Amino acid sequence: MQDYVVKNLLQVQDITETVMSAQGFSEAQAAAIARNVTAAERDECRHHGLFRVAFYINTLRAGQASGTCMPELSDLASSVLRVDGKYGFSPLPLEIGHKALADRAREHGIAALSVNNAHNVAALWPEVERLAEEGLCALAFVAAAPYVAPAGGNRPLFGTNPMAFSWPRPGGLPPVVFDQASSASARGEIQIRLRDGKSLPDGWAIDVHGQPTNDPQEALQGAQLPFGGVKGSSIAMMVELLAGPLLGDLLSFEAGEKDKAKTGAPCGGELIICMDPAHFVPGKDREAQLRHSERLFRKILDQEGTRLPSSRRYEARRRTENEGVRIPKVLYDNLMLLREGGYTTERQTYEGDHIAS
């Protein structure tokens, strides 16, 4: 067992923001990244939490990203908005596009936001969850570093390419949200098994010869597999097209080629589609729509052994809001070093790392 430091959410936000500032990020960039990191810690999605701070800083120090640019919002069509991330990170451009996207969805019924030229290492769900908290329904797609072989293939091409979805709930209930990679597992889950000397389940990966492997090291050198075979591979391909060519931005393999310093923080596009449910029914009675979807959720939960997507995150949220965030001491010490303007290239892994779904 290692030691932990316990901090509340305001402190986590403050630590992240001051670390980012000390490392050369502008106030706006630092605050937006810190909000994403803090949301992830709050919901115990630790791979997008404080653990991720080093990824942002490594990418900046490698000279591949800007920490001070100001993203720019523009119109591409009456229902399509674009935020040029200007080679910074995705949280700030998403925040800048958020209100405009929600407004366009409320005006036209459906609208889309293209975020371009942004390094994507943040959790994807916070943006779709935020839209659903405002009564909207959203879909999000982002490409990633090329780690996944297409179905039937033998080498990496697709990113782990997450797709996220959110749907609002009535009565102050938090939205139903999922945010899932189109790979069978997160890359971090393979790295954790490597560290812990554990083997991989069948269906996660192939080795450099394209043969199925249960060995984490061989998997990391070979390729991850899509979830659900051909169907997951189709979804991974769709995400490539929607986050890449549709937006005039990079495919995962192109982002991989561009990431010369191998920071693992690919630069590219992100597509958010947002719908206002009220505009999809003649009477615009959103409350009736939400009562209707509750019927489905009750029917799901009536079956023992099921849960709603995101329910684990919300349980964690209640826990951390009361009990604070447990930060591994070695991670905390590194953050304190970074906050002094220091830096170490040593790769940190921390007991208790996990990826929440």
Residues 52-91 that bind a second copy (CB under 8 A): 74, 76-80, 82
304 binds a second copy (CB under 8 A): yes
157 binds a second copy (CB under 8 A): yes
Encoded one letter per residue, x for contact with a second copy by CB under 8 A and - for no contact, window 112-131 reads x-x-----------------
Site for a second copy in 172-211 (CB under 8 A): 176, 178, 180, 210
Identified binder of a second copy from the candidate list 307, 318, 329, 354, rule CB under 8 A: 307
Enumerate the H helices of the chain as residue ranges.
9-22, 27-42, 53-61, 91-108, 125-133, 187-195, 216-221, 230-243, 252-258, 286-301, 311-323, 329-339
Which residue, 74 or 199, is less far from a second copy as judged by CB? 74
275 binds a second copy (CB under 8 A): yes
169 binds a second copy (CB under 8 A): no
Size of the site for a second copy (CB under 8 A): 75
Three-class DSSP category at 25: coil
Identified binder of a second copy from the candidate list 197, 303, 345, 346, rule CB under 8 A: 303
DSSP label at residue 183: B
Which residue, 56 or 158, is less far from a second copy as judged by CB? 158
Q: Distance (Å, rounded) from C-alpha 321 to C-alpha 330? A: 23
311 binds a second copy (CB under 8 A): no
Tell me the sheet residues that pair with 328.
4
Which residue, 6 or 76, is less far from a second copy as judged by CB? 76
Sheet architecture: strand order including 110-119: 72-77, 80-89, 110-119, 267-275, 137-142, 163-167, 176-180
> Segment near a second copy (CB under 8 A), from 12-20, 40-48, 144-152, 339-347?
144-152
Residues 117/248, Cβ–Cβ less than 8 Å: no
Least separation in angstroms between residue 69's CB and a second copy is 17
Residue type, 266: P
Which residue, 261 or 296, is less far from a second copy as judged by CB? 296
Identified binder of a second copy from the candidate list 152, 171, 172, 197, rule CB under 8 A: 152
DSSP label at residue 8: -
144 binds a second copy (CB under 8 A): no
> Segment near a second copy (CB under 8 A), from 65-73, 85-93, 149-157, 317-325?
149-157
DSSP strand pairing (212-213 vs 205-206): antiparallel
**C-alpha angle 299-303-308 in degrees, rounded to nearest 5:** 70
Least separation in angstroms between residue 184's CB and a second copy is 8
Nearest to 83 by CA among 94, 69, 68: 94
248 binds a second copy (CB under 8 A): yes
Find tokens 């905390």 and name the residue: 332
> Segment near a second copy (CB under 8 A), from 36-44, 109-117, 188-196, 345-353?
109-117
147: Cβ contacts below 8 Å, ≥ 6 apart:
156, 158, 159, 160, 183, 187, 223, 224
> Segment near a second copy (CB under 8 A), from 17-25, 44-52, 119-127, 275-283?
275-283
Residues 13/35, Cβ–Cβ less than 8 Å: yes
Encoded one letter per residue, x for contact with a second copy by CB under 8 A and - for no contact, window 204-243 reads ------x----------------xxxxxx-xx-xx-xxx-
149 binds a second copy (CB under 8 A): yes
